[in-house]
Chain A
Amino acid sequence: MFRPLEPISNKARILLGLGFFAAFVALWSWATFGGYVSRTFLADPLTMIEEGRLLLFKFNFLYDIGMTIWRVVGGFVLAAIVAVPLGIVMGAFKPIEALFEPFVSFARYLPASAFIPLLILWAGIGETQKLLVIFIGSFFQLVLMVAVSVGNTRRDLVEAAYTLGSSDQAIVRRVLLPANSPEIAEILRLVLGWAWTYVIVAELIGSSSGIGHMIVDSQALLNTGQIIFGIIVIGLIGLVSDFLFKAVNRALFPWRFA
Chain B
Amino acid sequence: MSGSKLEIDKVGRIFPGAKDREPTVALMPTSLSINANDFITILGPSGCGKSTLLRIVAGLDLQNQGEVRLDGRPVAGPGRDRGMVFQSYTLFPWLTVEQNIAFGLKERGVAETERARIVSSYVDKVGLRGFERHWPKQLSGGMQQRTAIARALANDPEILLLDEPFGALDNQTRALMQELLLGIWERERKTVLFVTHDIEEAIFLASRVLVMTARPGKIKTDLAVDLPYPRTYKIKTTPAFIALKERLTEDIRSEAIKADAH
Contact = CB atoms under 8 A, between A and B. Distances in A.
Contacts of A197: none
Contacts of A254: 135
B155 A156 contact: no
Nearest to B103: A164
B107 A163 contact: no
Given A159-B86, A164-B155, A170-B107, A255 B93 contact: yes
Nearest to A177: B94
Of B58, B80, B93, B152, the most chain A CB neighbours within 10 A belong to B93
Interface in B77-110: 77-80, 82-84, 86, 88, 90, 92-95, 103-104, 107-108
B107 A164 contact: yes
Of A159, A163, A174, A178, the most chain B CB neighbours within 10 A belong to A163
A162 B152 CA distance: 11
B254 interface: no
A163 B152 contact: yes
Contacts of A160: 84, 86, 90, 92, 148
Nearest to B93: A255
B184 interface: no
A163 B82 contact: yes
B146 interface: no
Interface string A64-102: 000000000000000000000000000000000000000
Contact of B80 (A164, A253, A255): A164
Contacts of B80: 163-165
Contacts of B58: 163
B60 A157 contact: no
B151 interface: yes
A164 B152 contact: yes
B137 interface: yes
Interface in A109-163: 154, 156-157, 159-163
Interface in B92-146: 92-95, 103-104, 107-108, 134-138
A166 interface: yes
B84 A255 contact: no
Interface in B215-233: none
B42 to A, nearest CB: 18
A174 to B, nearest CB: 8
Interface in A217-258: 253-256, 258
A165 B92 contact: no
A142 B135 CA distance: 29
A179 interface: yes
Contact of A258 (B82, B86, B137): B137
Contact of A163 (B60, B134, B138): B60
Given A163-B78, A165-B108, A156 B86 contact: yes
A175 interface: yes
Contacts of A166: 107
Contacts of A175: 92
Interface in A156-209: 156-157, 159-166, 170, 174-175, 178-179, 181
Contacts of A154: 90
B92 A178 contact: yes
B143 to A, nearest CB: 14
Given A156-B90, A157-B90, A163 B135 contact: no
A253 B93 CA distance: 10
A163 B59 CA distance: 8
Contacts of A256: 93
Contacts of B77: 162
Contacts of A181: 94
A163 B60 CA distance: 8
B135 A159 contact: no
A163 B135 CA distance: 21
A257 to B, nearest CB: 9
A75 B71 CA distance: 57
A164 B138 contact: no
B200 to A, nearest CB: 26
Contacts of B138: 258
Nearest to A154: B90
18 contacts: A157-B92, A160-B86, A161-B92, A163-B59, A163-B60, A163-B78, A163-B80, A163-B152, A164-B151, A165-B79, A165-B155, A170-B107, A175-B92, A179-B92, A181-B94, A253-B94, A255-B93, A255-B135
Given A165-B79, A174-B103, 7 more contacts: A160-B84, A161-B92, A162-B78, A163-B84, A164-B103, A164-B155, A170-B107
Q: Please list the 6 inter-chain residue pairs (A to B) with the smallest Cβ-Cβ separation, ordered nearest first.
A: A165-B80, A164-B104, A162-B78, A163-B84, A160-B90, A258-B135
